[in-house]
């Protein structure tokens, strides 16, 4: 192995320069640098205005900011958006037309660095959204799963097998102690929506007509989730809600927020975090919605009352995007050197794959080879992130793990070399929901 690396040292160094000049082709979100926006006509003036809007959306995706500050560099870029895209085309969209723009990653990265704005890499966490809607106007209204229509109207108990915690709490407003133990958590918190749903009797604890949104749903909430997620540059998927999902998840499971059952049913999709949404129309005609973002280390609630359900869904996506940007966007203004020691890329192909992946990370400005041996690849990277944040970002990806004998990034000396294991898993395995959900 060592002789192979020595024989190929010159070609590897050339490959390093080539790989570090590549755009972010190793990104999980392959569509991140492509934006479509409505355009009134194909005239140069309308095309220019649509391209400006597309660039503004693109900057929102890359910075994680809902409002991109109009710094001088940003204002100049918006005045001449053609400097930042590689190609464009017009797309027929029913009776309307959309401008599809493909942007140049490296040019955008340079612009964002010049404006000293945050930068968020394209390798982004994926959410699975379980959303139940009580709405007689839903796209496919149906009785509560497991109930015949007459039984549903009477508030009868489900006839199909339910999870233990669901059976224990089927006729109670608040799950009993056994249900809490089985759920592995405290009972779901009481929210304004819970109070609105609960009513005066167990029959009102859950609406008669409930729809669990699926990847094929055209409900306004589903459309709004997809649209806003595309604008923010985040991946939010809805479940297939096929027979396997229906066997595990009843609408009641979502209304009552049984975390254990929901997490178990989510495992087939391999999400990085989960969004739970519950929505119904209130007495005043507004929409009462309760959203919860479930990360491994936190559960973030969001309770809303909005004029329509779509507005609520968009605000929920913004809450998820803001939280992810807070965790993963690099906000430093000054660049510094950080040295990496990477094990596991002990072949020419592994080495090339490692460099390709690093070259696609927007928070790395440059990657330089220090030494390649049979045991490890030693690199020096230029980044605006701190050493601690860089270690956390790399360890949080699907491509690296912190070496078992390495101190955690926050406990090591500031100049200490980051020691990582290359897992060669930067491409996410296809999940069960292979249906395309990336664009509205």
The domain boundary, picked from 114, 145, 167, lies at 114
Q: What is the pLDDT of residue 153?
A: 35
CB 239 within 8 A of CB 253: no
Tell whether 120 is covered by a domain. no
CA distance 55 to 99: 12
Q: From edge to edge, which strands make up the β-sheet containing 34-38?
A: 34-38, 96-103, 85-93
Tell whether 254 is covered by a domain. yes
CA distance 138 to 426: 38
What does the pLDDT look like over 256-285, one tens digit per residue? 999 999 999 999 999 999 999 999 988 888
Q: What is the pLDDT of residue 206?
A: 64
Task: Spell out the residues 6+ positions from residue 403 whose beta carbon is closer than 8 angstroms to its own.
Answer: 341, 343, 419, 420, 421
Q: Are residues 165 and 249 both part of a single domain?
A: yes
Q: Note the helical H segments in 102-212.
A: 105-114, 149-154, 164-168, 177-183, 192-198
CB 131 within 8 A of CB 222: yes
Q: Are residues 149 and 245 both part of a single domain?
A: yes
Q: What is the pLDDT of residue 231?
A: 95
Going by pLDDT thresholds of 50, 70 and 90, the confidence category of residue 409 is low
Host domain of residue 292: 126-328
The domain boundary, picked from 328, 344, 376, lies at 328
Tell whether 200 is covered by a domain. yes
CA distance 98 to 108: 22
Q: Are residues 288 and 342 both part of a single domain?
A: no
Q: Are residues 259 and 344 both part of a single domain?
A: no
What does the pLDDT look like over 303-332, one tens digit per residue? 999 999 999 999 999 999 999 999 889 886
> Which tokens is 139 given?
């796209």
Tell whether 158 is covered by a domain. yes
Q: Are residues 345 and 387 both part of a single domain?
A: yes
Q: Are residues 198 and 321 both part of a single domain?
A: yes
Residue among 63, 65, 73 nearest 118 (CA): 63
Q: Are residues 293 and 378 both part of a single domain?
A: no
> Which tokens is 354 given?
């490692």
What does the pLDDT look like over 214-249, one tens digit per residue? 999 999 999 999 999 999 999 999 999 999 999 999
Question: What is the tally of structural domains in the chain?
Answer: 3
Gyration radius from the chain CA atoms: 25
Q: Are residues 149 and 254 both part of a single domain?
A: yes
Q: Are residues 140 and 72 both part of a single domain?
A: no
Q: What is the pLDDT of residue 281?
A: 87
Q: Are residues 192 and 301 both part of a single domain?
A: yes
pTM of the predicted protein model: 0.70
């Amino acid at each position: 192995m060592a002789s192979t690396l020595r024989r190929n040292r010159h070609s590897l160094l050339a490959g390093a320069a080539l790989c570090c000049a590549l755009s972010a082709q190793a990104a999980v979100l392959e569509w991140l640098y492509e934006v479509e926006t409505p355009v009134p006509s194909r005239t140069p003036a309308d095309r220019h205005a649509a391209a400006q809007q597309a660039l503004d959306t693109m900057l929102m995706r890359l910075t994680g900011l809902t409002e991109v500050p109009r710094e001088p560099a940003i204002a100049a870029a918006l005045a001449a958006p053609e400097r930042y895209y590689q190609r464009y085309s017009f797309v027929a969209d029913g009776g309307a037309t959309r401008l599809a723009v493909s942007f140049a990653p490296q040019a955008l990265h340079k612009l964002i660095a010049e404006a000293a704005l945050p930068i968020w890499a394209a390798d982004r966490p994926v959410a699975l959204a379980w959303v139940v809607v009580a709405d007689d106007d839903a796209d496919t209204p149906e009785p509560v799963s497991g109930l015949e229509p007459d039984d549903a109207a009477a508030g009868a108990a489900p006839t199909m097998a339910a999870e233990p915690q669901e059976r224990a709490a089927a006729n109670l407003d608040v799950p009993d102690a056994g249900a809490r133990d089985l759920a592995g958590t405290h009972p779901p918190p009481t929210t304004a929506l819970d109070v609105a749903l609960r009513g005066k009797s167990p029959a009102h604890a859950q609406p008669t007509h409930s729809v669990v949104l699926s990847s094929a749903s055209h409900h306004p909430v589903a459309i709004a989730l997809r649209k806003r997620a595309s604008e923010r540059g985040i991946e939010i998927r809805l479940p297939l809600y096929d027979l396997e999902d229906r066997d595990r998840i009843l609408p009641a499971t979502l209304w009552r927020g049984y975390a254990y059952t929901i997490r178990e049913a989510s495992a087939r999709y391999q999400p990085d975090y989960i969004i739970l949404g519950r929505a119904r129309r209130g007495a005043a005609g507004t929409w009462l919605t309760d959203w919860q973002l479930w990360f491994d280390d936190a559960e973030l609630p969001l309770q809303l009352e909005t004029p329509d359900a779509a507005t609520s869904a968009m605000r929920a996506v913004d809450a998820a995007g803001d939280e992810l940007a807070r965790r993963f966007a690099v906000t430093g203004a000054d660049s510094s050197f950080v040295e990496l020691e990477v094990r596991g890329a002990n072949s020419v192909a592994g080495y090339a794959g490692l460099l390709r992946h690093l070259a696609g990370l927007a928070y790395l400005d440059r990657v330089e080879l220090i030494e390649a041996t049979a045991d490890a690849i030693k690199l020096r990277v230029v980044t605006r992130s701190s050493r601690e944040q860089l270690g956390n970002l790399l360890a949080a990806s699907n491509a690296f793990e912190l070496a078992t004998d390495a101190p955690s990034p926050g406990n090591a000396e500031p100049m200490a070399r980051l020691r990582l294991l290359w897992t060669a898993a930067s491409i996410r395995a296809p999940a069960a929901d292979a249906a395309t959900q990336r664009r509205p």
